[in-house]
């Protein structure tokens, strides 16, 4: 199989699993609170990423890092997975999946505006237009099907979902400056994050011994939101002749995700969700592509 076809295959696998994540979050949150889910999903990711590094013969890279490298990983691990998923999973626990997921998807627009002070980039008219368009989409989605008599049903949840975009954008900016191997960095992020997650769970929830069914839901989240899927996506980007050919496929995930959200989670899909999602994707598309 030629490289580009392999790239599409790996990207398709990643998009498929990311399309199930919103539903997986909601199902898993029926068995755990948001901190407990993050704890067990993170443990799963650590185990999976360890074996991926072992298979790729990259574990020896860990001993080549400096003290500053490990401090950087500790800081990045605090941002993601700890802080990012605490905020995101809390948002999912109080919002419908069809609302939380597309709101979180606005992070590329937020990233552009955070890049102005942090990366000294200049704002363009295109960015302003993209922001305006995307937040029209946010308005539609936040209405939850009641656009004519607009009222925020869960303002705190919407605040959290949008707040997670700021955390993820900060993580992306600091992470992109770090030129170490991406999978190794991700593994270290989880290693350094797990003490934060354990302390938060112990203080604000409790560590439990889950039953088999509950544990499976957390394992699925840890494997296919936080672990293996990311590796598939990196592989697709590496094999592709152009990242644009692959990156555009990620826009399919939120639309595909509405299928399991409706048929598995059982949510009635609002018309405003579909309209808002299309508008958000249009805004991101304007920002990302020429």
pLDDT tens digit string along 121-170?
777 777 788 878 888 888 888 877 777 665 667 889 999 999 999 999 99
> Looking at the predicted structure, is the pLDDT value of residue 52 above 80?
yes
Contacts of 87 (CB under 8 A, 6+ apart): 160, 163, 164, 167
The average confidence (pLDDT) of the chain is: 88
What digits encode the pLDDT tens for the residues 240-250? 776 666 777 77
Task: Quote the tokens at residue 5.
Answer: 């076809």
User: Which tops the pLDDT comparison, 276 or 238?
Assistant: 276
- Phi, psi dihedrals of residue 112, rounded to the nearest 5°: -60, -45
The two tokens of residue 48 are 């999976």
Nearest to 190 by CA among 52, 55, 33, 74: 74
Query: Mean of the pLDDT values across residues 66-81?
Result: 94
Q: Read off the pLDDT of residues 81-115 as tens digits, 9 standing for 90 and up.
A: 999 999 999 999 999 999 898 888 888 778 878 88
Structure tokens at 35: 């901190």
Q: What is the mean pLDDT of residues 259-270?
A: 92
Confidence grade of residue 204 (pLDDT, cut at 50, 70, 90): very high
pLDDT at 85: 96
> What is the mean pLDDT of the segment spanning 201-226?
93
Stretch 160-185: mean pLDDT, rounded? Answer: 89
SS3 sequence, the chain?
CCHHHHHHHHHHHHHHHHHHHHHHHHHHCCCCCHHHHHHHHHHHHHHHHHHHHHHCCCHHHHHHCCHHHHHHHHHHHHHHHHHHHHHHHHHHHHCCHHHHHHHHCCHHHHHHHHHHHHCCCCCCHHHHHHHHHHHHHHHHHHCCCCCCCCCCCCHHHHHHHHHHHHHHHHHHHHHHCCCCCHHHHHHHHHHHHHHHHHHHHHHHCCCCCCCHHHHHHHHHHHHHCCCHHHHHHHHHHHHCCCHHHHHHHHHHHHHHHHHHHHHHHCCCCCHHHHHHHHHHHHHHHHHHCC
pLDDT for 212 equals 92
In the chain, the N- to C-terminal Cα span, in Å, equals 30
Output the pLDDT for position 245: 66
Residue 159 pLDDT: 92
């Amino acid at each position: 199989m030629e490289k580009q076809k392999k790239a599409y295959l790996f990207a398709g696998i990643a998009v498929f699993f990311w399309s199930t994540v919103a539903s997986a979050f909601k199902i898993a949150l029926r068995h755990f609170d948001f901190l407990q889910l993050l704890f067990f999903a993170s443990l799963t990711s650590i185990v999976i990423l360890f074996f991926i590094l072992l298979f790729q013969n990259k574990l020896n890279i860990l001993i080549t890092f400096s003290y500053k490298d490990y401090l950087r990983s500790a800081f990045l691990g605090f941002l993601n997975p700890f802080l990012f998923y605490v905020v995101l999973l809390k948002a999912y626990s109080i919002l419908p999946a069809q609302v939380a997921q597309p709101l979180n998807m606005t992070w590329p627009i937020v990233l552009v505006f955070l890049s102005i002070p942090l990366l000294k980039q200049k704002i363009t008219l295109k960015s302003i237009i993209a922001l305006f368009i995307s937040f029209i989409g946010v308005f539609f989605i936040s209405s939850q099907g009641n656009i004519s008599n607009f009222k925020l049903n869960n303002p705190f949840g919407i605040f959290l979902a949008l707040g997670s975009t700021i955390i993820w954008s900060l993580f992306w900016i600091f992470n992109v400056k770090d030129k170490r191997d991406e999978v190794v960095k991700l593994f270290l992020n989880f290693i350094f994050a797990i003490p934060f997650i354990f302390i938060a769970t112990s203080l604000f929830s409790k560590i439990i011994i889950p039953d088999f069914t509950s544990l499976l839901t957390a394992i699925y989240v840890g494997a296919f939101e936080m672990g293996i899927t990311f590796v598939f996506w990196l592989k697709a980007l590496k094999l592709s002749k152009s990242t644009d050919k692959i990156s555009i496929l990620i826009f399919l995930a939120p639309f595909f995700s509405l299928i399991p959200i409706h048929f598995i989670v059982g949510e009635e899909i609002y018309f405003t969700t579909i309209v808002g999602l299309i508008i958000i994707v249009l805004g991101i598309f304007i920002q990302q592509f020429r």
